[in-house]
A and B are shown apart, each in its own frame.
Chain A
Amino acid sequence: MVPLENYLALSAIVFALGVYGVLARRNAVMILMSVELMLNAVNINFVAFAAYLDPGRIVGAIFAVFIITVAAAEVGLALAIVIRLFRNRATANVDEAATMKW
């Protein structure tokens, strides 16, 4: 059986890739995709913990289900905001939409 550490290490690397994408990329859609990557890494962690640490296996799976739900809501709203940004500013660069930033 694959050790639990392998799953955790893999999800840590995927999460770090997502962190880099959020920090360094300037395209709004790209930042959104990096957030999705991070949420997926968290989901791997939850399901792996449920399989390896909890004999009942339910709670980790429930967390994963809720994370998937919230991710769906988040993507729907964020893409609506991106389309709106395109219509008003003709750009997807988040640095050019910094009117409220001093």
Chain B
Amino acid sequence: MEGFGPSFAFWVLAALTLVAAGGVMVSRNLLHAVLFLILTFIGVAGFFVLLSADFIAMAQVIIYVGAIAVLVLFAVLLTPRSGRDNGETRWALPGILLAVCLAAIFLFVVHDTAWNTVDEAPAGLDARALGTALLTTWVVPFEIASVLLTAALVGAIMLTRSPEEEAEDALV
């Protein structure tokens, strides 16, 4: 991990991620915002690769870029054109002020803390060890997460039924 390569990759990825995240905030068209968001997700996946967490990077690409972004795109395209206007902003100045203050506090804390970093070169994240830990130490949160996903799926289906389907159910 010595040398020029990782830090060069870091700055390129940082520029990509920050420009894309800024684009999400700036763009007036909701579709452009979604495309910038996909670019941000890809940049974050690059950071995970740089931190040698391959499995998390893969999950990021598959779930965020492959599923969540496509879901948001579908929602944008399913809604009428009037809802695609993203221009409306209220309380912009207090929002900017709060965000800048928050970032300043975070940056101060990050800079001021003496991080107790481990010196040894980071080994790659072992996907086998991750799976073992998920199914032994963390098995209860794992099961709760699966129940949560099922509940969210059922809830989403219930919420988006058409009025005709709801009328049919009311008769039974």
Contact = CB atoms under 8 A, between A and B. Distances in A.
Given A29-B30, A58-B130, A83-B78, A44 B47 contact: yes
Contacts of A97: none
B117 to A, nearest CB: 5
Contact of B89 (A24, A52, A79, A80): A24
Contacts of A92: 79, 83
Contacts of A37: 21, 24, 37, 40
Given A27-B83, A77-B155, A72 B88 contact: no
Interface of A: 1-2, 4-10, 12-21, 23-27, 29-30, 32-34, 36-37, 40, 43-44, 47-48, 50-55, 57-58, 61-62, 64-66, 68-77, 79-84, 86, 90-93, 95
A87 B148 CA distance: 26
A92 to B, nearest CB: 4
A20 B37 contact: no
Interface in B86-108: 86, 88-92, 94-96, 98-100, 102-103, 106-107
A61 B75 contact: no
A30 B86 CA distance: 7
Q: Rank and list the top 8 A-B pairs by shortest CB-CB distance, nearest first.
A: A12-B106, A24-B95, A16-B103, A73-B152, A23-B95, A20-B99, A80-B156, A80-B159
Given A53-B118, A72-B68, A33 B102 contact: no
B77 to A, nearest CB: 11
Contact of A81 (B78, B118, B120, B159): B159
A7 B116 CA distance: 15
A27 B115 contact: no
Interface residues of B, number: 89
B123 A57 contact: yes
B107 A12 contact: yes
B100 to A, nearest CB: 7
Contacts of A32: 72
Given A4-B117, A14-B18, A52-B122, A20 B25 contact: yes
B118 A83 contact: no
Interface centre among B25, B120, B148, B157 (most CB of A within 10 A): B25
Nearest to B78: A83
Contact of B149 (A53, A61, A64, A73): A73
B53 A61 contact: yes
Interface centre among B50, B51, B149 (most CB of A within 10 A): B51
